[in-house]
Amino acid sequence: MPSTTTTNTTTALATHVAMLPSFVYEAIDPVTKLPFYVGRTGDMDRRAREHQKRCMKKIRELMKLKDFKFRDVQRRVPELPDGCAPKDAQELEAYFIFERDTVYHPKKRPYGCNSKIGDHGTELADDRYDELERMFAGDGYKFPLVEEPKDLRDARAEYEIAGAFVTMAEAVGDEKCVEALNECKVLAKSALLSAERIHLGLRAFVERVLADYDDKYLDAVDQPTLQTALNLIKDKMGEDEAYADLQRIVTSISLVCKEKEGVDVSSEAAANFLKGVLAMIGSREEGTLAWTQKTVEANIKRVRAWTRAHGMQKPMPSSVDKEEKRLGIFLKNWKRDNDHYGGKCTDLPNCRVVMRGIAWFEDLVGCGDKYANEWVELNTQLCDGFAWHDEPYFEGKKVIICSKDNASIYHKLKHLIRGQGKPTDVATALKGLPTDRAAWYQGRHEANRPARLQKAKEAHKKKRKLDAASSSTTCTPDEEEE
């Protein structure tokens, strides 16, 4: 067992942050070897609204087979072993429904269990279908395994697919199928937890387990799954001497949560047990952090205390409250290249440990990367043919919409047209566009830019006057502003 005197914050916070893919899967009759259903998962709410009665009938028939096992029936389509981007899932589901020929027909395809050709299947044009055929015949579809190990993605895929079948069985009220498929889902969950235990840091893994129980409002959780998770947490603690003695706390919880006839464990109880474990891990973790700037350590802990005492709000530098103002200005200067704090975002990994669970903090320190990624995504969508509604018509034009999942990109384009955005960001968004399209957006941006800058200048001047009027004390070093 390795000896640890100082927490390695990279390991302690290890987590996977990649964009999670969707998975297109198929169900295959193990006797005839014919696919009878194609679906996608990653959108469980949509699945819950579907009633695939024929699919459940087919599953019931397969259960009568002597050697039937769920893993013999379901799998990710081999052409998409690592899943696909969520924005591509609907089109690819429709493509594989066509390819596998699984739409029900009483004479031609009585084994088919798909009741329709997928969402937007009728929008899959002939030339696009040919393009997809060529793609899968050649290099195929590649979804990057960025920041996420393959075994972890594989385990999550199996769990999500099992969950999709359970949800469909529940939707049609098929209790026998629900029971059998739930057993498969429990096994898949255990495999997923085992993979997450390997790749996540201790604190991140406990938080991941907690997410299964927090705010779920269940009177009785699946106790074998909870026991599996607790045993994996104990194993994880045993890998580091700094946390090894906490194993006895988890052992006690495990004894309390042990499956007993007539004794249920609620999700609230499980969540509270895990929150207590997290609090102990957090205290140990903070006690072993190595800070380069003690003033940053002191201030960030004061920020956390103030935030917790004020409804998890962010302290603002323009506040009339002296303590809130001081902490707000500290955050503002800490984010800059400020010598008083040793540079920009000094001790950021340690600060992330202290501020773990406070939503606004990650937005504060990660907004630059987030905005940069949004400009890149806007460029991707523009190059794919999406456009502002009054852009001149071109072949393949698709109007960009403000959907729930695409609102930030929609507003990025709207603001670009209205003159917002740095020249480098605008250049990123328009990179690779046909000359006439790029010129149209660039022209609209430049025409509205002067008015936009003047408006921003006036707003900034007004704010500075209000800040000056509300300030009645001399700034300390922590309160220095530009």
Range 118-126 average pLDDT: 80
Of residues 112 and 16, more confidence is placed in: 112
User: Which residue intervals of 310-422 are DSSP H helices?
Assistant: 322-334, 348-354, 359-383, 407-417
pLDDT score of 275: 93
Joined together, the tokens standing for residue 380 give: 């991707």
Kindly state the helix (H) or strand (E) to which residue 126 belongs, with its residue range. Answer: helix 126-137
Domain boundaries, the chain: 1-13+200-290, 17-199, 294-357, 363-470
Range 198-202 average pLDDT: 88
Kindly state the helix (H) or strand (E) to which residue 38 belongs, with its residue range. Answer: strand 35-41
pLDDT score of 325: 93
Judge whether residue 403 has pLDDT over 80. no
Range 203-212 average pLDDT: 91
Do residues 51 and 116 touch, judged by C-beta distance below 8 A?
no
* Banded pLDDT at 482 (limits 50, 70, 90): very low
pLDDT score of 463: 65
In whole angstroms, give the CA distance from residue 190 to residue 232.
Answer: 10
Residue 189 makes CB contacts below 8 A (sequence gap 6+) with 159, 225, 228
The reported pTM is: 0.62
pLDDT score of 232: 95
Judge whether residue 48 has pLDDT over 80. no
In whole angstroms, give the CA distance from residue 48 to residue 46.
Answer: 5
Q: pLDDT tens for residues 71-88?
A: 778 889 999 988 988 888
Q: pLDDT tens for residues 439-465?
A: 999 999 999 989 888 887 787 677 667
In whole angstroms, give the CA distance from residue 31 to residue 168.
Answer: 23
pLDDT score of 68: 65
Say which residue the tokens 């946390």 belong to: 243
Range 219-246 average pLDDT: 92
Do residues 54 and 111 touch, judged by C-beta distance below 8 A?
no
Judge whether residue 128 has pLDDT over 60. yes
Judge whether residue 47 has pLDDT over 60. no
Task: Kindly state the percentage of the chain with pLDDT values over 90.
Answer: 40
In whole angstroms, give the CA distance from residue 230 to residue 221.
Answer: 14
Q: pLDDT tens for residues 174-199?
A: 888 888 888 888 889 999 999 999 98
Q: In angstroms, what is the C-alpha Rg of the chain?
A: 27
Q: pLDDT tens for residues 303-322?
A: 999 999 999 999 999 899 99
